[in-house]
Structures are given as C-alpha cells and as structure tokens.
Structure 1
Amino acid sequence: MKLSLSRRDFGLMAAQITVGAAGTTLFGLPSALAQQKSVNLGTFGGIDAQNYIRAKNSMAQTFGPGAKVDYVTVRAGSEVISAMAGGSLDMCNIGSSPMVVGYANGLAASMVYAYKSIIDSEALVVQNSSGIKTVGELKGKRIGLPFNTSVHFAALAALKGAGLGPGDVQLINMRADTIASAWTRRELDASYIWVPVIPRLVEDGGTIIFKTGDLATTQGLAMFDGFLVRDEFKKQNPDLVLAFLKDFDTIAREFKQNPKEVVATMTKFLSVDEAAVMRSLNTFYPISAKEQITSKWMGKPGEKDTGVAKTLKVQADFLKESGQISTVPKDVGAMVDSSFAMKLAA
C-alpha cells in the first residue's frame, strides 16, 4: 500500500521525531495525524459565514491547521435537523422554528449562538393584482412557504395577530427554490419567504405587507437564526466550536464594515451579481457576544427568563397547535447553551 504525504505532513513527522514526544500508530504515522480533528460544517450555499470561509479558503485560520473541514450544503432547516440526527452534520445556522422541531423530536443538539437577528430578511409578499393590503385580508388566500421553517412560524404568528388561524387560509408547502416560478404563474396570492427570493417576487408584481421583524413590536418576540451544534460534537470538540464562533464574530463585522471585499469575494465564488450579494449583506444583523448574554437574547448560562427562551416557547406552542410536533418540550430553553458566548464576551 502506497501512502502519500504532503510537505506539511513530512514537516509534522520530522518535528515529532525530533522532540521524541509523540507515539506512532498504523503505518508509523504520528498520533497527531491519526487523531486529526474534523468538522462537518453546514452552509445554505449563499452568503453565510461558512461559505465565506470556504470562498477565502481560510479553514486553517478558522479552526487551526490540524482540522479537516467538510462542507455540507443544505436547503432548509429540516435538512439540517435530519443531517444532524444522522451524524453527518456537526454545526450549522438554522431558523429557530425547525430547531424547536428537532429538539421536540429528540435531537441532541444545542443552540450556542444567535447567528443573526431577523428583521427584514424574511417577509410576507402579496400579489399586487390581489388587492390585498393587510394580513387580515388573506382569509381564503393561497400562501406559499416552506413548512417547518422560521417563515412558517412567522406566517402563523402574523396570521394570529390579525385574528386568523391556519384553517382560514390555504397554506401551501413549497421549497424556496420553487416559489418564484409558482409566483410568476400566478398560482399564489402571497408568499412568506426569505432573501434572495423576496426581491424576485417584488420585482415580479409583489408588495411586502409584513416583515418578521414586526413580531418584535407586535408580539414582543425576538426573532433570530441560531447556530446549532450536535451535543456529541460539542462535548468532544469544544475548541472547534469556540474557534468558529470567534471567527464568526470577525466575519460578521467584515460583512457590515467592509462590504466591498465581501461582495468581490462572494460574487466570484457564487457566480452571482453584486446586487444579490448586497441584498443579503443589507439584511444581515449580527449580535455581539456581549449582547448575546443579555436577557434580551440568550442570557448567561442557566438564565431562564430570556428573549430567546420566550421565543422558543412561543414557537413550540405554535408548532403543537399546528400539528408539527406532538408534544411541547417541558423546558425548550434547555437547548440553549450560552457558555461559549460567555467566553467570547469576557
């Protein structure tokens, strides 16, 4: 059997032979190589921190030179949950609603950071031709959206705020990548969806009448995407989790403070136009580590009465009412682990 080693591998072997501190394993490889740490990192394939790391080829800078990174592209929160349950995905950003669904169904994973505050990156768009001006006027109308996602919850919450229930409208379960074509065929009266689909609907005869950020003022809910980590991976590799979150904070600032560089990098990497990248950057609202550990967001470790905990509980109740989960977890806030945020905020 022929074994191929890179110049870096030879360097590592030589260094260990010199100091005589490392043992050897199969094929005489030093144990540092045999025990190489790895992470299956999820990305939604768009303008997220994970894809930025990928585009910049900066995995070693983020996780350290000894870590192996495999990227897993997902299209929806339900895919994140399924992949984590199967052990093929370790860390990924995800909407809080599918996160609750996973937790209620026994997924051993923790929210370790609020990935972003959701304000205008998700919205309810109506066809101009429908004449609909308010959420209350959606009674009996066809609304396309992906189920078991953050927009599904936001849609139900918006409808409830307008005095409507799921049975008062026609909710149609659709993948995000099929909504624009259905919209063009005028098969939908409305859609609750996220960027980059929103601007496509608006440009094709649509008007935004409600944004997810409106739930903060109408119902006191802090809406967010969370960064979810498999508990087993977190226990075995807390250093990799913390390393990513440290770099994420840096990348989040880069997204807001140096958009020209981000646009140049992601435009080339994703083969999309600059306007599409800027739309994503303009609707990205990061939360600093110090903000994360306040009661408005995750709170300090062990804190119960927090904004994140309240939102998760309300979402769990909605999910139970709409039949998406069979039981509400006794303490849905137990899935929140703010210990990493505490370390970053120190």
Structure 2
Amino acid sequence: MSRVPHGPSRRLLLAGALAAASAAVTGCSSGGDDSSGGAKRLRIGYFAFPSGDLIVKHGKLLEKALPGYTITWIKFDSGASVNQAFIGKSLDIAALGSSPFARGLSGSSPIPYKVAWILDVAGDNEALVARKSTGVFDVAGLRGRTVATPFASTSHYSLLAALDTAGLKASDVKLVDLQPQAILAAWQRGDIDAAYVWLPTLDELRKTGRQLTSSKRIGAEGKPTLDLAVVSDDLIARDPKAIDAWRKAEAEALRLLKSDPDGAVKAVSAELGISAADAKAQLAQGVFLTPEQVTSADWLGTDGDPGKLRSYVSDTAAFLAGQKQIDAAPSADAVREAFYLKGLPDVLK
C-alpha cells in the first residue's frame, strides 16, 4: 500500500470541525453565556477512556470550583477530531494525545493551543493486537496484513514506531483508518488482521486476539506517548484563572487515583457504563503520575523551567516527519512556545 497521505487541508478540517463540534454539543448540558469569548463558559473535550478527566467530570469538581460557569463536556473519539474542533474554535480545553499535539504544531498555521497538563502516560492501555486466527506472533509477521488504527492518534504513532523497530515500512502493511468502534466492528467481521487501539475497545480485541506489543513497551524503547491536556490561546488570554481552577481539579483527580482507588473505580465505572471489576482492570493498565511528578523536570516542568516533555514532543514530531506523516517538524521555538506553564506548581496548592 502507498504511504498514508498527509490528510485533508485546513479548510476541509475547519468545515469538518464545525460539523463535528455542532453534533457533539447537541444533547450536552449547556446554558448561560454561550456567546463567542464568553468568560463564564468552558467547553471541555474528553475521551471515554480511564483517566482523571472522568473523575473530574463525574465528581463535578470543576463545577464546584467555578460556580456560575457553564461547563460543557464534549466526548470525542480521537485526537484528530479534537484538533479539528480547536481549528473551528469549538473547544477551550481538551484531552489530546502527544502525537496529534505534535501534528497540530506543524505546518504554516499551527493550531492556536498550548499543552497545560498531563493526564496519563500510555501503558498497556494502548496496544497492538492480531487476530489469533492469522497465526501472527510478532510485529514482523504483519507484513502484507491489514492493520487498522485511528490515523493521527497516539496509537497510529506507536504503530508506526512498532513497524519501524520490526524492520517494516508503513507500505509493508495495508493501513486502514478506523475509529475504535469501527475497529471492533471490522474485527468481528474479519475485515482486518490486526489493530492498534486503546481501551475499552482494546479489551474486546484481546478476547480473540494476541497482543504483539504495547505503548508501555514502545515507550520504554524510547518513543513514549502521553495523553496531554491542552488549552486554547483564546482561553489563556481571556480567563487564566479558570485554567488554574481546572488544573487544580485535575491534580485532585490524580491524587484521588492514589488515595481513593475505590472511588476512582466507581467514577470510571459510572462514566463508561462498565462493571467495577472492568473499570479497576482498565485503570491498572494506565500510568498515572502524581501532581508533583507532572510538574517535575522529568515531565511537564514548571513556569520558567520546562521539563522533558518538550523534547518528547520534538522527538515525536521529528519521527512523524521522517515517516512522511507531516511535511516538516515544527521548529524548536514553535515547540517551546506551545507550553503554558504559568503559575506551576504554586497554583496546585
């Protein structure tokens, strides 16, 4: 198969963003000031994926911290659609994988947002699984096979990294762009041989599949992926105090994951509509940092002293450019300016 194209133009992305965001918001709680730039409104994009975001949402931690604000939670399926929504100015804050974030910084018109928090580090909660019936036992065995993943996601990045390590090019397999639910349907029909995807779809594939590698292993080999949280430049300009309150809520959620694991399981179970046992198992597969680790030199860093995450983003972009997934990696200055660290770590107290 020929290599994956760079993707649609920004004009097409914008059109898709407006349609997707409009559909996503329908049915969500809303009200109050919804005018453009309204300081009392926060539109938050999240994934149906075990993380502190679900604890913040379920416990209404942000609503408690910001009385008088209209908080709208909008569910997305992948980082590509989150990027589109930011282009369409339909989001203020959102979860976003490190790979789609690196993509968003590339090109002549980088998306106007900045990373402001780390939700989790990808572990065994994202993995590459092959159907047992294929007889494939390792990544090298995927040559000529049909492999699905959501394009422009952390899973897509990790899949490319896994293929590269195994001595394969993207063109050595037939790559198919599918969202998680579509991956499950294609798997059940027998249309695909393997898939790189995240929970909870991943657990469904494991029932009849064989895990070949995971993001935890790929990260240990030098290509880590993370679930970040980004904020729009517009929100930074108009309401930095709301960002401080949001970061405090996310920090509280990370602490609750450690101090009240049963409560965390209950929240994730309720938000995902799964059993407590399944929620506990899924949470165990993620790598959740403490707030102190998030703001350490090893990860996000602090105001005036950015951490290693900056180099992780640069390395990710360089790899994507080498794989011809983006035209060119963003400059060091562009990456440096794509971090919002003001007030850290003091605002978490």
TM-score (norm. length: structure 1):
0.82
**1:113 counterpart residue number:** 117
* Shift of residue 266, structure 1, vs aligned partner: 4.0
**1:294 counterpart residue number:** 296
* Aligned alpha-carbon RMSD (Å): 2.2
SS at match of 1:335: coil
* Shift of residue 72, structure 1, vs aligned partner: 1.6
Aligned residues: percent identity?
24
**1:11 counterpart residue number:** none
- Per-residue displacement from partner, 1:161-196 (whole Å, max 9, x unpaired)? 111111111111111111112112222221111111
2: distance between equivalents of 1:329 and 1:269? 36
Q: Report the CA distance shift for 1:345/1:270 in structure 2 as closer, same or farther (over 3 A).
A: closer
SS at match of 1:339: coil
**1:182 counterpart residue number:** 186
The question of 1:40 aligning with 2:46 is answered no
Q: Report the CA distance shift for 1:173/1:335 in structure 2 as closer, same or farther (over 3 A).
A: same
**2:34 counterpart residue number:** none
**2:249 counterpart residue number:** 247
Aligned length: 308
**2:171 counterpart residue number:** 167
Letter in 2 for 1:187: D
Contact 1:221–1:310, Cα closer than 8 Å, also in 2: no
Contact 2:117–2:228, Cα closer than 8 Å, also in 1: yes
* Shift of residue 95, structure 1, vs aligned partner: 0.5
The question of 1:238 aligning with 2:237 is answered no
2: distance between equivalents of 1:244 and 1:159? 38
* Shift of residue 303, structure 1, vs aligned partner: 4.7
**1:216 counterpart residue number:** 219
- Per-residue displacement from partner, 1:105-154 (whole Å, max 9, x unpaired)? 41011011121111111111111122222222222221110000001001
**2:210 counterpart residue number:** 207
Q: Which moved more, 1:288-297 or 1:180-189?
A: 288-297
The question of 1:132 aligning with 2:127 is answered no
Which of these two proteins has the greater Rg computed from alpha carbons? Answer: 1
1: distance between equivalents of 2:226 and 2:322? 21
Q: Report the CA distance shift for 1:51/1:298 in structure 2 as closer, same or farther (over 3 A).
A: closer
Alignment equivalent of 2:79, drawn from 77, 84, 108: 77
* Shift of residue 155, structure 1, vs aligned partner: 0.7
Q: Which runs of no fewer than 5 residues in structure 2 stay unpaired? A: 1-37
The question of 1:195 aligning with 2:196 is answered no
Contact 2:121–2:226, Cα closer than 8 Å, also in 1: yes
Q: Report the CA distance shift for 1:318/1:247 in structure 2 as closer, same or farther (over 3 A).
A: same
**1:321 counterpart residue number:** 322
* Shift of residue 325, structure 1, vs aligned partner: 2.1
2: distance between equivalents of 1:175 and 1:291? 31
Contact 2:53–2:253, Cα closer than 8 Å, also in 1: no
- Per-residue displacement from partner, 1:216-245 (whole Å, max 9, x unpaired)? 332x23421111110110222111111111
Q: Which moved more, 1:36-45 or 1:68-77?
A: 36-45
The question of 1:284 aligning with 2:282 is answered no
Q: Which moved more, 1:73-82 or 1:130-139?
A: 130-139
TM-score (norm. length: structure 2):
0.81
- Per-residue displacement from partner, 1:72-105 (whole Å, max 9, x unpaired)? 2211111111111211111011101111111214
